[in-house]
Structure 1
Amino acid sequence: MRLNYRKDGIFKILQMTDTHIGNMPFHADDEKTFDLVRRAIHKLDVDLIIHTGDIIWSEGVKDADIVFKKFIEIFNESDIPVAITFGNHDTEEIITRSDLRQLFDQTVKNKAEKVDIAIFDDRENYVIPIYDASNTEIQNALFVLDSGAASPLPLSEYDWNQPEQVEWFRKTAHTYLKGDHVKRHLVFQHIPLPEYWQATDKILAGVNKETNERISSPTINTGLFANMLLNTEIWGMFVGHDHDNNFDGLFNDIHLVYGNVSGYQTYGELTRGVRIIELNQHTQDIKTYTVTNDEL
């Protein structure tokens, strides 16, 4: 589905993350997650839903494909376009990312239009263009990257953006430049970049309450943030992964933001919820805030 601003010049994105749906029959906490997701979809007035990974548990989960399908069928209860990427827990055993992408394509009726698609080692990267209210010109580009799963080397616990992905981002993002240095484009993935550590020094909103590693990023830095910075028109990045973080931090004038953990069947003390990202075509402002389960 091609996306465009409303007539009033507003476009709203709902980010959910880390739902961690597990084995069937579903645990009571999974049922609470289903309920939260349904109420967010039906009560929040948004134009796009993006899930930034760890949609399911896959390790030790029988019939992970059926679990995944049952969760994403919820999206068919509304007409809101949907996009996803994957986290470190989605494909830990037999099921693959290509398996899940195929299930998503076959199951979800209203999929956001994806362009500039590139797949590296079964990790899909793509762009979602958002057009103006007249549906003629691209105003914003959403870059969605698959940040991987476990580290392939004994250097850190989690994977990093592959150099091929960073080069894809550099080249692709350049084609969306308007040349006015207005920060308008957004990046979405699951695992935070190492620069999220520096963003904790300037938290604009939200909390940083992880008790072990405050930021669970890879130790290898392959330069994605540097390319975001050099692009000059990237407003910020949105991730998941760390369930006790939901902050909006600023580093070198780029927002590094966590979604709010949405799933109950996983660790974390934060009140479950979602994040809203609101774009304004007229002012070119971008604002973001969380909506908790208690507020739905």
Structure 2
Amino acid sequence: DFRNEQIEWLDKTSREVNADSIVFQHIPVDEIYELLEKVPKGTKGAEPAYGTRKGEYYRRKDGIKFMGKYGETPAAMPRECGEFEQLKKQGDVFAVYCGHDHYDSFIGTVDGIDLGYCPGAGYNTYGIEQREVRVFEFDENDVRNYKTYTVSYGDVCKKPLAEPFKTYIFSIAPCCTPQLPMFGVKVLALLAAIAVFFVLLAKVLGKWTSIGALLGVLTGTVIYFGGAIIYNIVTRKRLIERYRNERGN
């Protein structure tokens, strides 16, 4: 949450720098909900909310300029923190871009300020299958008239993903508790498909051959995910140590 001293810092820095600006921050401002509308559960395109909006459902609002993908409701800061009102008051900020909600890459305009998302880029967390980064192009003589677009992994790299199965699981993973039921349905459907496959395999190759194949798949899965977990833990530890050494802390 924003504190009073942070609002004061925004005001002070705005007056000192006195330049057109974009704000980049992890958590979106609550005013981004002005680009969405609350609808009944089951409405096409609606996503479940959580936190203070738990039990509500939102979809993209009709009749407004809206670009990009909407895949989950924003996990935003409380509106009463006052950040957006401060940015409007300053007049120098023309856009606020955030992350946090990995399935989102949409952009819209609220009270003259663009509010948008930089989608999830890493493959060690949930997100769309083709991870993306957001690119900005500016004219130094007219920075407010900027261009922005996303570039996906497939746009710049033709190599297949190193961990396609893990990536698929992350691409259907729930981003919040209300999405767990639908995730459960997807998992059950996947397990049912696997069960049908092995039943058919047993009829063709015999019971013991199919059991051996199933055990082989289970063993491979355990090794695959176990190795991935160990690798991620070791890599994370090394990155933290490297960061601390570089920072002298």
Q: TM-score, normalised by structure 2?
A: 0.48
Q: TM-score, normalised by structure 1?
A: 0.41
Q: Select the structure that is richer in strand.
A: 1
User: Using CA pairs below 8 Å that are at least 6 residues apart, which structure has the higher relative contact order?
Assistant: 1
For the pair shown, the structure with the greater C-alpha radius of gyration is 2
